[in-house]
Structure 1
Amino acid sequence: MSEPVNQSRRRAAIATAAVPGAMLGAAAVAPFVTSMTPSERAKAAGAPVEVDISNLKPGEKLNVEWRGKVVWVMKRTPEQIASLSQIPASQLADPMSAGSKQPAYVDPKTRSISPELVVMEGVCTHLGCSPVSRLTPGELGNDWLGGFYCPCHGSKFDVAGRVYTGSPAPTNLPVPDHKIDGTKLVIGITPDGKEA
């Protein structure tokens, strides 16, 4: 005959086996949970970047890395600013940047907060190549007023990053959120201090 089942002993045995099992399960899951949180390096890569623009002279361009992309910070000359209104709208695919990525607080004609300083991603919107500076008027033909040229497939952009009609690039060069505070530029933050 079988002995009656001792329920309290059964519960004690189950609890004794369950505790180490739960600990092993937690130990197995912990690395997966930890891997889902961003590393300090990843957090830093997306953080706003401060740039000292006090020594930037007219016509000069800085390359800054932000979120793994090259961002150009360029101080335009008076001639370069004037050239923006000399390009016929018919030669630009999106002259007012209606279909391009840029914050609402930048002037669509200059694509900047102030006409002198332009901030834009230095990555062609066609296939991600890096355009090169061709800032000298006439450098790419008699009607060329200066800008950027993508050597991969021939896209052309003016000094505001607006793409020329007939270029493979579908949109203007993106303008990231940024804030100008005297001689300091902060990329990745809006003028009212909100992080992008």
Structure 2
Amino acid sequence: MSNTPVDNSRRRFLTIATSVVGGVGVAGAAVPFIASWNPSAKAKAAGADIKVDISKVEPGQLLRVEWRSKPVWIVRRTPQLLKELGEHDDKLRDPHSEENQQPEFARNDYRSLKKEYLVLVGICTHLGCSPQHKKDGEFEEMVEGVKDGFFCPCHGSKFDMAGRVFQGVPAPLNLVVPPYYYIDDNTLLIGSEEGAA
């Protein structure tokens, strides 16, 4: 047995130094591990709101965009189309949009914020096909007295220019109105309602 005094300060220093190095190592390993739980940039973009410039959309024209991997249609309705919307309510399954499938702002005759512009998810509410826009009287071959509308070629569902479903077709509901608002007169933001955080 030796009587040399024990150097506790050196032992304390080595313990602290080892703890600090170990803590840095744990933090270095934890940061990338925790970061891997965050969604990828591609996943974030897939669910993100989109801005759409509608300044060049002509009356009667349909603009197609993609939001959350779904087709979204923006249609600039003509005054004649708007007038015709109220003339076939008796042929529709849900003419007043009573089903809870659209934002509150779309519970009106036009199913839109501004009557001139219609914004819809372009997916049939039957089995998910994408209907075709039939215009200039072409739709009247399918529904007497209605010149423009949307026809689903998969199973024959028909929708008017407010996205309301006609009676006697497989689709049970009107086409979906996504949340959106106008940033200004020429720009839509699809994916959020104004004031929603």
User: Normalised by the size of structure 2, how large is the TM-score?
Assistant: 0.78
User: Is the CA contact 1:77–1:116 (under 8 Å) kept in the aligned structure 2?
Assistant: yes
**Correspondences of 1:35-54 after superposition (within 5 Å):** 36-54=37-55
CA distance in 2 between counterparts of 1:55 and 1:135 reads 19
Structure 2 partner of 1:93: 93
Gaps of 5+ in 2: 1-21
Kindly provide the CA deviation profile for residues 115-138 of structure 1, in whole angstroms up to 9, marking residues without a partner as x. Answer: 100101000010000000112332
Deviation per residue, 1:46-96 (Å, 9 max, x gap): 11100111111100011110011000011001111111101133x111111
Q: How far did 1:44 drift? A: 1.1
Letter in 1 for 2:118: V
2:106 is paired with a residue of what secondary structure? coil
Pairwise CA RMSD of aligned residues?
2.5
CA contact (8 A) 1:100 1:172 kept: no
Distance 1:34 1:173 in 2: 38
Distance 2:155 2:148 in 1: 18
Distance 1:110 1:39 in 2: 38
One-letter code aligned to 1:39: S
1:145 aligns with 2:147: yes
- Say if 1:123 and 1:100 are closer, same or farther in 2 by CA, change over 3 A: farther
What does 1:1-196 correspond to in 2, within 5 Å?
36-89=37-90, 91-137=91-137, 138-180=140-182, 181-192=184-195, 194=196
What displacement does 1:139 show? 3.6
SS of match in other structure, 1:86? coil
Determine the C-alpha separation between the residues in 2 that align with 1:59 and 1:84.
14
TM superposition score normalised by structure 1: 0.79
* Residues in 1 aligned to 2:40 and 2:194: alpha-carbon distance in whole angstroms: 28
Q: Matches of 1:148 and 1:141 in 2, distance apart? A: 11
Deviation at 1:143, TM superposition (A): 2.7
Aligned residue pairs total: 174
Percent identity between the two aligned chains: 45
- State how far apart, in whole Å, the 2-side matches of 1:62 and 1:183 are: 13
Specify every segment of 5 or more residues in structure 1 that has no aligned partner in the other structure, as ranges: 1-18
2:83 maps to amino acid: A
Runs of 4+ off more than 6 Å: none
Larger Rg: 2
